[in-house]
Chain A
Amino acid sequence: MTTTESPVADNGVNVQALLDARDVLKGAPEAAQFTWRASSKWQHGVHSTTRLQNYFGLGEEQSHKTETVLDADHPEVFAATDNAITPIEYLLVGLASCLTAGVASVAQNRGIQVRSIESTVEGHHDIRGILGADSDVRNGFNDVKVTFTIDADASPEDIQALVAQSQKRSAVFDALTNPTDVTVEVV
């Protein structure tokens, strides 16, 4: 299949704006420096609430239209209150939504109409690590598996290419697969 009969694919992604931004920021690297922020507060037990609204970018303070409030807790099998998902599950949220946005954007840029993008993300986790039961077991995921089901006006090969390119340009995929310097301080 090709996209020749449907001249304009519309996945709702403003690719032109992104391409324009890319050109502008090439000559203005300082404006490309963003800082994302989250503020977290302990509730009780292993339950906490994190709020996100403000961030820095394009040289000035920015704000989301509304504040997002996210709770994190741990499940009852961990003898916790299970008010919300566990922190490590937020990594799955980040990865799935980042890759999905990437597939839609790359498809838009390549003129491919997408009808549905669904994915399941599995993080395989040996919890002996966080429990300190075995020092050879790491705390984080052993591995993560993402499975996409995509309905689009494109050949299976072109859909594979969308998913590959999406990973190549994904912030969360990079953050999970490559080392990041993390500093934690107490003030």
Chain B
Amino acid sequence: MSEGSSPRGAVERTTAVVIGAGHAGLAASHFLTERSIDHVVLERGEVANSWRHERWDSLRLLTPNALSNLPGRRYDGPDPDGYMTTDEVIALIDGFASVVRAPVRTGVAVTSLRRTDDGYAVTTDAGELHCRTVVLATGACNRPTVPAFRDAVPASVEQFTAFDYRNPEHLPEGGVLVVGASATGVQLAAELRRSGRPVTLSVGEHVRLPRTYRGQDVLWWMDASGVWDERYDEVDDLTRARRLPSPQLVGTPERATLDLNALTDIGVELVGRWGTVRNGQAAFSGGLGNTFSLADLKMRRLLGTFDEWALRRGHEGEIGPPETYAPTRVPESKRLQLDLNSGEIRAVVWATGYRPDYAWLDVPVLDEKGHLVHDGGVVDSPGLYALGLPVLRRRKSTFIHGIEDDAREVIDHLAGFLAFRR
């Protein structure tokens, strides 16, 4: 046994270690406890840490309350159609941690995870643990992804990412260039525009969705029609599905749609994907029209599958009539260049995505692009598992309510592994 040879001789042992105490790690803990598998949950900060420290002030959950369920916790409040604020999400996850009685150790950062003869050694800033299995529940959004040409942006323009952006007051007065048109980008562009600033939004590939369709929340449709339950091993192009940007949605009491036409209506200028910076000039793609066409086509296709489902299941009577949406309007004069030295733009906000941080993972389970190689959360290293990554086992994997089925199945596999290995 390897721990016997440890120089300090006092290495703590447990059967399972869960890394991360967000909703995914806590769900793992819930199912581990259900199976009486002794474990600890290590958390670098506090429970729901990312929600506390790495989100902007106005953010609300994209899923309506009625869908925001965790294992053993069903929403029974007064506002099933509403969207939780960040504080409410923190309270939800905190409450879940208490009910589950998750053995969370907060303020413990994992600095290394490596294989041993009979499992894994987890090194933390508070000592070392040995265990037979590990569940990685550190999430998919540990670091903002920013293109390398950010270094060519003139120093007179302040740069922010979705991690350090909190609200418009923190930005300098003047024009803002928001980069990226997924949920983050459209939400920040809208609130910056409403703060009175001129806003330019650089738009690449995106997922357009109306907030409500035929009177129902579009995510209700995703859930009810079974689209969200599509399994990872049934998805046509899994790599693509896992890289899909988050849909252009915002959770507001008004249940308002926040697509690009809505942004154009409030005066946001749309430009193409930002390609590079040359001599202080930002250069944008001229292919914006096709980017719009692709998103419009995909949205219509998805809504068409909802209609077919409703017809097949005889729901026609209970929901509103099918709706159509105007194509995304291409700006009359498309800007291909923007002089970053002119003073027009005072700040750039990068909403260009996130990536996981596996710097501490000393097990060779990353592909050449740094993504974790796994089969539905079963990592290619005996006893190593993952939860809370995009389309981990289903399309809904990264949504709050998507964790229950994933965590149950992954912990089933983990329990089988332990039983098989005695």
A-side residues, CB < 8 A to B, are 143, 157, 160-161, 164-165, 167-168, 173-174, 176-179
Contacts and interface: CB of A to CB of B under 8 A. Distances in A.
A168 B297 CA distance: 13
A164 B297 CA distance: 9
Given A157-B297, A173-B287, A178-B286, 7 more contacts: A160-B293, A161-B297, A164-B294, A167-B287, A177-B286, A177-B287, A178-B285
B287 A179 contact: no
Contact of A168 (B275, B276, B286, B294): B294
Contacts of A157: 297, 300
B283 interface: yes
The 4 tightest CB contacts between A and B, nearest first, are A177-B286, A177-B287, A179-B283, A167-B290
A178 B336 CA distance: 9
A173 B286 CA distance: 9
A176 B297 contact: no
B390 interface: no
> Does more than half of chain B's interface fall in helix, strand or loop, or is it mixed?
mixed
Contacts of B276: 179
Nearest to B304: A157
Interface string B110-139: 000000000000000000000000000000
A48 B87 CA distance: 69
Interface in B288-316: 290, 293-294, 297, 300
B290 A160 contact: no
Contacts of B273: 178
User: What does DSSP make chain A's interface, helix, strand, loop or mixed?
Assistant: helix
Contact of B286 (A160, A164, A165, A176): A176
A96 to B, nearest CB: 15
Given A179-B276, A179-B278, A174 B287 contact: yes
A158 B285 CA distance: 25
Given A157-B300, A174-B287, A164 B275 contact: no
A53 B272 CA distance: 35
A176 B285 CA distance: 9
A177 B275 CA distance: 10
Nearest to A141: B286
26 contacts: A157-B297, A160-B293, A160-B297, A161-B297, A164-B297, A165-B294, A167-B290, A168-B290, A168-B294, A173-B290, A174-B287, A176-B286, A177-B272, A177-B285, A177-B286, A177-B287, A178-B273, A178-B275, A178-B283, A178-B285, A178-B286, A178-B287, A179-B275, A179-B276, A179-B278, A179-B283
Contacts of B272: 177
B274 to A, nearest CB: 10
B148 to A, nearest CB: 13
Nearest to B282: A179
A160 B289 CA distance: 13
A179 B273 CA distance: 11
A168 B291 CA distance: 8
Contacts of A160: 293, 297
A168 B289 CA distance: 11
Contacts of B286: 143, 176-178
Nearest to A29: B368
B173 to A, nearest CB: 29
A164 B287 contact: no
A54 B290 CA distance: 33
A182 B64 CA distance: 50
A84 to B, nearest CB: 27
Contacts of A161: 297
A167 B285 CA distance: 13
Contacts of B290: 164, 167-168, 173
A68 B300 CA distance: 44
Contacts of B287: 167, 173-174, 177-178
A162 B187 CA distance: 31
A116 to B, nearest CB: 22
Contacts of A165: 294
Nearest to A166: B290
Contacts of B294: 164-165, 168
Contacts of A174: 287
A27 to B, nearest CB: 9
A11 to B, nearest CB: 21
A157 B299 CA distance: 12
A171 B225 CA distance: 37
Contacts of A177: 272, 285-287
A174 B272 CA distance: 12
Most B CB atoms within 10 A — which of A157, A160, A174, A177? A177
Contacts of A179: 275-276, 278, 283
